[in-house]
Structure 1
Amino acid sequence: MAGDLILITGVSGYIGFKTLVLALERGLKVRAVIRKAEQAKKLESHGRVAPHTKNLQWVIIPDLSKTDSFDPYLKDGVTGILHVASPLANETDDYDRDIISPAIKSTLAVLNAAHRAPSVKRVVITSSAVTLVSFAWMFGPAPPTPDLTLFTAADIDSKPAKASSAMEAYFASKTLARIATKEFMEKEKPSFEVVNLLPTIVFGPDELATNIQELMTSSRRVVLSALMDVKAPEMVGATVHVDDVARAHIDGLKSSVPGNREYILSSDVPEGICWEDAENAVKRNFPEAVEKGIFKLEGSMTLRPWRLDTTETEEAFGWKPVSFEETVRELVKQYLRFIEAEKK
């Protein structure tokens, strides 16, 4: 694999940037897709990217949904594509136009371009474990007794309801893109293979964050705030470390990982995570921070069980994901480093 030329979308984002770093560190040559030229300077100056710029090419594609947008960049022996980019759950007055449709169209643009590029052997796509369940299951009130269904990668919400929020639109976009991928592969029967990755809630340290404000976004904000004094909203009890998601993208290119398959990425399976593990990790590893009141441990997070079967994932990839407790520990370490930096 080292020395192979691959193309990666979404490199300016949380998962995509970590995937770019790991690809370069493993000796791959990368064509990194960005939408704006100015993004390149920031990304290539990063300490983990700068030593590998000889193996890095920047590709500017303002609109990933155009059907022929990738064709010019899959020449010269590109063997793999990592399609990480996807519209975020930002509020808008048109969920279909700004979230759902671009996700489906960009995925199909990648697949069609790969179909026209004989050198491409494998396409790895960032989907989501939210595609396994319905809106009602994910967003509805918790049932009076826990749902102990064991979900597998064969499950899918085949007909998502009409989205009434940006988050629902994001989930629908992932589901419909996953369905579109299946239909494309069945109809076109391309020479390349697809690996669809289905991560649960992704968090952990952020390689691109330079201060506390940048770190305290998305799922990281929820976890860190609950370790202080915030009673966080209910969430499903399934997470995965961002490093494991990035690692699965790179490993998904290997012929040893069965292709034309879908893999759930989640830690602490099948039962899911326990919030007490986060608090105990902080008490054990950062007693001074607790004593100083940096982490008051007066918050809480209600977790709903989400039982997931990742047996096929562990067999195919040959490794177990980082535990929730270890993920929390690494995130807290980054947070404390930023606190120390602000004091200087």
Structure 2
Amino acid sequence: MEQALVLVTGGTGFIAQHCILALLEQGFRVRTTVRTLAREAEVREHLKTGGAEPGERLGFVVADLGADAGWAEAAKGCTYVIHGASPTPSGSYATDEDWVRPAVDGNLRVLRAARDAGVKRVVLTSAFGAVGVGHGPMGRPFNEEDWSNLAGDVAPYQRSKTLSERGAWAFVEKEGRGLELAAVNPTAVLGPALGADFSHSIQIIKGMMDGQPGSPKINSGFVDVRDVADLHLLAMTHPAGKGERFLAIAGESLWLADVAGILRERMGAAAQKVSTRALPNWLVRLGAKTDPRMKAVVPMLGVNMNATSEKARRLLGWNPRSAEEAIVATAESLVRLQLLKA
């Protein structure tokens, strides 16, 4: 019997590529979308780094979240869709609207195409940014009942993730006609880079290994991308995944200075430039006046971002590796692929 065909949107993405690797390993056939076929060779090269040369078991379709073209063709014949493509605006994007509209409309394009093609279930790659942002201090870990408070201090990317996930649930309820939906909400995603185009969370580790002078007092959950991919597959196929959202975090959240400490302890000479210093908040706020990256982290200074993945473990039997393993795997891949400053 021929294995089911799964559409993975945004095949150039870090999480998407690890989802493709996991699907191929489990025998699925995969189709993925790219904005231009010029990037097919790069995607295949990254998959090869991850240990897969799928040949004909992987197909490519050109489709962009900003236009209708290609989505019907992409979804045709698919049993499942993993929708990980998300607009990440370049510097020319200035307003909330530039983030939000493409994310919300893009989700609806994919969901409509999936519904019309008779897809059984869509798994949406959402984010912790749709769960734990804009709140006051929490006396407990965040869970799947929580939604980011858009009346609070929420960055445009997190606003786009919140509104696009809410829009997806509303669409399935009102217009889904039996289409099933599940959502995966990862915290900061680490794990093996497959090439130079990797997630912004890996930039945290790269910055430390490259010798940045210290870390802001920021707390984050972490999770390995291979476990995020496994959670997507469980949410896709497990009966208990239907209609649920799942937080992806490995154990307790960590302060960035703790992450630096793990690198120093585990990576030996490769981590000789890593500083375990916590930068004082006043210094970060001062830097924020001229550096947009610093400005983005100011609302997170000193805020505990702990969350729980108890639901995914209980309902789906998900069992992620530790945050420390994810941190080390990230650093090892950066060394192996020679992606660190000399």
Structure 2 stretches of 5 or more lacking a match? 280-300
- The question of 1:249 aligning with 2:232 is answered yes
TM-score, normalisation: structure 2: 0.82
**2:213 pairs with 215, 222, 230, which one?**
230
CA gap 1:199/1:2 in 2 versus in 1, 3 angstroms: farther
User: Counterpart of 2:129?
Assistant: 130
Deviation of 1:331 (Å)? 1.6
**Cα distance in 2, alignment partners of residues 232 and 224 from structure 1:** 12
Does residue 1:151 correspond to 2:134, yes or no?
A: no
Amino acid at match of 1:265: A
Higher mean displacement: 152-161 or 321-330: 152-161
Cα distance change of structure 1 residues 20 and 286 upon mapping to structure 2, 3 Å threshold: same
For these two proteins, the number of residue pairs brought into alignment is 318
Query: Which residue in the other structure is 1:175 paired with?
Result: 162
- More deviation in 279-288 or 321-330? 279-288
Query: Displacement, 1:111?
Result: 1.1
Identity %: 25
The 2-side partners of 1:342 and 1:29 are apart by 38
* Contact persistence 1:4–1:79 (CA under 8 A): yes
Matched residues in 2 for 1:254 and 1:51: separation? 24
- CA–CA separation in structure 1 for the residues paired with 2:107 and 2:339: 42
TM-score by length of 1: 0.81
**Cα offset for 1:124?**
0.3
Q: Compute the displacement of 1:131 (Å).
A: 1.3
Choose from 197, 202, 206 the match for 1:220.
Answer: 202
In structure 1, how many angstroms separate the alpha carbons of the residues matched to 2:277 and 2:24?
Answer: 39
Separation in 1, partners of 2:153, 2:328: 38
RMSD: 2.9
Aligned-partner Cα distance in 2 for 1:2–1:286: 44
Please identify, of 189-198 and 169-178, the stretch whose mean Cα deviation from structure 2 is larger.
189-198
The match for 2:107 is 107
Name structure 1 gaps, 5 residues minimum.
Answer: 138-145
Aligned counterpart in structure 2 of residue 281 of structure 1, from 234, 242, 262: 262
Match runs of 1:304-323 below 5 Å? 304-323=303-322
Which residue of 1 is the match for residue 56 of structure 2? 54
Shift in alpha-carbon separation, 1:300–1:204, aligned structure 2, 3 A: farther
SS in 1 for 2:156: helix
Deviation (angstroms), 1:23: 1.5
Of 169, 182, 187, the residue aligned with 2:174 is: 187
The residue aligned with 1:240 is 223
Shift of 1:197: 0.8
Assess if the C-alpha contact under 8 Å between 2:238 and 2:316 holds in 1: no
Q: Distance in 1 between matches of 2:88 and 2:340?
A: 30
Using the TM superposition, give the Cα deviation of residue 229 of structure 1 relative to its aligned residue in structure 2, in angstroms: 4.8
Q: Is the 2:132–2:147 contact (alpha carbons within 8 Å) kept by the matching residues of 1?
A: yes
Alpha-carbon deviations, 1:303-322, whole Å to 9, x = none? 63223232111112212222
Shift of 1:300: 3.6
Q: Is residue 234–residue 241 contact of structure 2 (8 Å, CA) maintained in 1?
A: no
Residue 70 of structure 1 and its aligned partner are, at CA, apart by 1.4
